Structure 1
C-alpha cells in the first residue's frame, strides 16, 4: 500500500511537468512563469521552498532535543519574520523594481541596479557554490525516512529523488514547480497535523506528554528542573540565533526572493502574505513543536551513535503504516519542492548572469532555456554525489550543512538587497563588502570554527551574526564610498512613483 501511494504521487508530479511544458519555452516562462503566478501558487511555492527535510528531520530533531518545547519559537519566528514581514517588506518592492530593471535573477538585479557586470558574476558564483551543501542536506534527511519506511538503500533514495525532480523541472520549469508545490503544500499541511496528533497520542495525549517532558532533566544541559517544558528552554540566546538564521535568512536567499518576481498583481501580494504566513505557522511551527517532544523517546535514541537526524525518524517508526506512508510523502514533498526551487535558481543564475554575454556572446531565448535545463541536470548530479560522500564522512548533521549555506547566502545578499530596494545611497562598494564578509566568515567557520569565539563556533550562530553584521556594514560602507550616479538612481527608483489608476474598491478616493 505504501509503495502504491508513492508511485501514484510520482505519476502526478511528472504529468504536471509535461502539461506545463508549453509555458516553459522562453526564459521568462521557464524561470518566472511569465510573471503571472497567482497568490495561492506563489504562497505555497514560497512555503514549500522554505521548509524541507532539513527542517522536518534536521532542525526539528536537533533543536527540539536542545531546547525542548521552546523550539516552537523557531516556527513562530519563521511565520512572523520569515513569511509575514518578508512579504510585507520585500514583496511589492521586489516585484516592482525587478520588472522595471528587467531582471529575472538576484545577480541580474544587482548587476542592473549598480550597472556592474562583475557584481552580477560574483553573486552568481556565490549562489552556485553555497546552494550545493544545502541541496545535499535535502537528500540526507529524506534518506533516513525512506530507510525507516521501505528499508531502501540510501543511494537509491538519492537517485530516485534526483531523477524525479529533474524530470518535472526540466519539462515544465517554474510553472510546473509552482503547481507541484501547491499539491505538495497541501500534503504537508495535512501530514504535519496528523503526525503531531498520532505522536502525542502515543504518549497519552498533549497534557501527559507535556507533563512527561517537564520531568526530564539533563545535567549536561541545565540543572533547572522541567527546563525542557519551559517557555524559553535551557539556552535562550542560542535559540534566538536559530530564530534569526531560519527566519531573517529567507530575506537574502535567491530561491526565496525570486518567488516575488513572479507575482501577477497587487491582490496576489495581499492574499499571498496571509496564505504563506498561515502555511509557515502550521508547517514550521508544527515541525518544531513535534521535535520538542523528542526527549520522551530518549530510551530509543542514541545521539552519540546516530546523530540528531535520527530523532524524528525514531519518533515516527511505530506509527500506523499508512501514517508512515504519509510521513514519507510529506518529507518527500517538502524536499522535492525545495530542491526544484534551488536548481532553478542556481541554473538560471549561471546561464543568465555568467554564461550569457560573458562566455557565450550570442544566446537566444531558446539557447538559454536549453542551457538552463542542462545545468539543472549537472547541478542535481553534483549535489547528489556530494550527498553520498557527505553521508559517509564526518559531517553528519543536516543542520550544520544548512547553517553554512544559509549563513553565506543570506550573510552576503540580505543587507545589500534590502537596502537596494529602499535606500538610494546604497553603493556598489557596500555590496562587494557584504559579499566578501558573508562568504569569508562562513568559510572560516567551516574550516576553523573551533578558533572562533565560543558563541560563533556553531554555523547557526555564525550565520545569524553574518546577517546582522551585513545590516550594519552596508550603510556604514555606503556612507564612506563613492556615491552612485544620480541619474541612474533616479531612473531606478522612478518605478515606485509611477501612477496607476485603480478601481475604488481597491483604493478609496478623497
Structure 2
C-alpha cells in the first residue's frame, strides 16, 4: 500500500508541477489554447494519442469487445492505428495546420464560421460540441471505481473528486502546453504499462500460445445466435461477428477525423518536420496502446471463473468488470502501475475535452455574441473559469450516475462520438479539400447526424433497421452518410462566394523553398 500511495503522490506532483511551470506560455489566447502553434512532433503526437485513448477504451471497450469478438477485437486497435492515426495525420495534418492559421481560427466551430462565411454555422457547431462533450467527459471517470476499489478500497466519489481537481489545476494553470507535456509523460506510462500488463496477464495463463490454445477451446455455449457452442470462434481471425466488428472499427477509427478535441491537435503543429515525425510516432503509439488494450481484452473469456457469467452469456457486473477481473491477480507493484495507467489515460483525455469545451464556449459563443468586448486577458480568464465549471459538472454527473445507476448519461456518452464525428467529419474534410462544399451542405450534415444519434437513444430507435439499433453501428453509419450528403447537397444548393473560397484556398498556393531531398525541382 505504501508503494502504491508513493507512486500516486509522485505522479500527481509531477502533473501539477508541470502545470505551474507552463503558466508563462498561457498568457494569451493562442498560447493558452494552442501553445503558440509551436508544439513539437513528440508532444503533438502523444497529445493526439493520449486524447484518443482513455479509460473508456482500456476498461470499457477492451472488456466489452474483447468478450464479444475474442482475439479479433485486435482489429479495432489496428484500425485505430492505421485509419484513426496514420491516415488522419496524412490527410488532415498539413492542410488543417495551414488553413486554420490562414483563417486565424483556434477552434473547429471558428473554422466552420470563417471557411463558409456563416456565424450561425459557428454557433450551431459550438452548441453541438457542448451538448455531446459534457456526457463524454463524465464517462471518463468510469472504470476508475472498480480499479481504485480493488487497489486502495477508496470510495468512488473520492477518486472522481481528486482526479477532477488535479486535472483542473494543471490545465487551468498551464493551458495547452501543460496538457501536451503532461500528455507526453502520461503517454510514456501508458506505453510501458500496457506492455507490462499484457505480459503479466498472458504469463498467468502459461504464455501467449497457451492462452491462445485455451481461448480456442472456449465455446459460446451460453449465448444465443449462430455461434452458440462453436469452439474456436473467439480465437479466429475475424471472430464470431465480423459485421458488427467492422462497425466498431469504423466508429473508433474514422471518428477521430471529426472529433474537435482530436483535430484541434493539428492546429498547434510547429513545422513540416513535426508533421512527418508526428505521423510515425502517433501511429506507433496507437498500435501499442490501442492494439494492446483490445488484444488484452480478447482473452477476457479465459477469466470467466473470476468475473462470472450470467445465463445470457454476459459477464456478471457488466462488461466493465472484465478487465478488472483479469488484473485482480497481479502483484501489488504492477497493480499500482495499472492504476496510474488508467489515471493517465483518463486525465489526458479529460484535459483535452475540457480545454476544447471551454475554448469553444468562450471564442465561439460568448465572444462577440453575449459579451461584445473581450480582450485577450479576459478571454483567457473566462476560459479558465469555464474549465473549472466543466470539470465540476462532469464530476457531479459521474457521481450521480454511479450512485443512482442513471443509465441515460452513459447512453448519451455512447452516441457522442457518432453525433460529433458524424456532424463534423464530412464538412471539415471537404472544407479543407473541395471548393464546392456549401454552407447548406454543412447544415444538412450537422442536423442529420445529431437527429439520428439522438433518435437512437429514444423510443424512435424501435423503427431503426436491426443493424442500426446499436449506437456503434449507427454512429459509423452517420459518418459514412455525411461523406455522401455533403457533396450531393452541395451540387444542388447555392454555390459559396468565389471571393470567400479563393481567400480560404489561397494559403495552399503560397510558394515555399524546400531542399531537393524533399522535391526534385523544375529541370533547367
Q: Where on the TM-score scale, by shorter chain, does this alignment land: which range?
A: over 0.9
- Counterpart position of 1:9: 11
Alpha-carbon separation, structure 2, partners of 1:57 and 1:402: 15
8 Å Cα contact 2:135/2:410 also seen in 1: no
Which segment is superposed worse, 445-454 or 193-202?
445-454
Shift of 1:504: 3.5
Alpha-carbon separation, structure 2, partners of 1:396 and 1:326: 30
Alpha-carbon separation, structure 1, partners of 2:16 and 2:396: 23
Alpha-carbon separation, structure 2, partners of 1:233 and 1:372: 46
Alpha-carbon separation, structure 2, partners of 1:130 and 1:391: 19
8 Å Cα contact 1:59/1:398 also seen in 2: no
Shift of 1:383: 1.1
- Counterpart position of 2:431: 420
Matched, 1:350 2:361: yes
- Counterpart position of 1:299: 305
Alpha-carbon separation, structure 2, partners of 1:444 and 1:390: 21
Alpha-carbon separation, structure 1, partners of 2:301 and 2:74: 15
Shift of 1:304: 5.5
8 Å Cα contact 1:309/1:398 also seen in 2: no
Alpha-carbon separation, structure 1, partners of 2:38 and 2:7: 32
Query: Secondary structure of the residue that 1:306 maps to in structure 2?
Result: coil
Alpha-carbon separation, structure 2, partners of 1:399 and 1:507: 50
Alpha-carbon separation, structure 1, partners of 2:367 and 2:378: 10
Alpha-carbon separation, structure 2, partners of 1:101 and 1:454: 43
Correspondence for 1:308 among 311, 315, 319: 319
- Counterpart position of 2:127: 125
Shift of 1:314: 0.7
Matched, 1:66 2:39: no
Alpha-carbon separation, structure 1, partners of 2:455 and 2:284: 37
Matched, 1:225 2:231: yes
Alpha-carbon separation, structure 1, partners of 2:406 and 2:286: 28
Correspondence for 1:436 among 437, 447, 467: 447
Matched, 1:205 2:207: yes
**Aligned alpha-carbon RMSD (Å):** 1.3
Matched, 1:381 2:383: no
Correspondence for 2:488 among 471, 476, 484: 476
8 Å Cα contact 2:220/2:231 also seen in 1: no
Which segment is superposed worse, 450-459 or 26-35?
450-459
Matched, 1:87 2:89: yes
Structure 2, unaligned stretches of length 5 or more?
A: 309-313
Residues 465 and 392 of structure 1: is their aligned pair in 2 closer, same or farther, counting only changes over 3 Å? farther
Which segment is superposed worse, 495-504 or 130-139?
495-504
Residues 51 and 398 of structure 1: is their aligned pair in 2 closer, same or farther, counting only changes over 3 Å? farther
Shift of 1:255: 0.2
Shift of 1:396: 5.7
Shift of 1:401: 5.0
Q: Deviations over 1:487-508 (max 9, x none)?
A: 1101110100100123334433
Q: Deviations over 1:318-343 (max 9, x none)?
A: 10000000000001001000000000
- Counterpart position of 1:172: 174
Aligned pair count? Answer: 510
8 Å Cα contact 2:144/2:156 also seen in 1: no
Alpha-carbon separation, structure 1, partners of 2:496 and 2:307: 57
8 Å Cα contact 1:68/1:233 also seen in 2: yes
Alpha-carbon separation, structure 1, partners of 2:76 and 2:406: 24
8 Å Cα contact 1:48/1:184 also seen in 2: yes
- Counterpart position of 2:252: 246
Give the TM-score normalised by the residue count of structure 1: 0.98
Structure 1, unaligned stretches of length 5 or more?
A: none
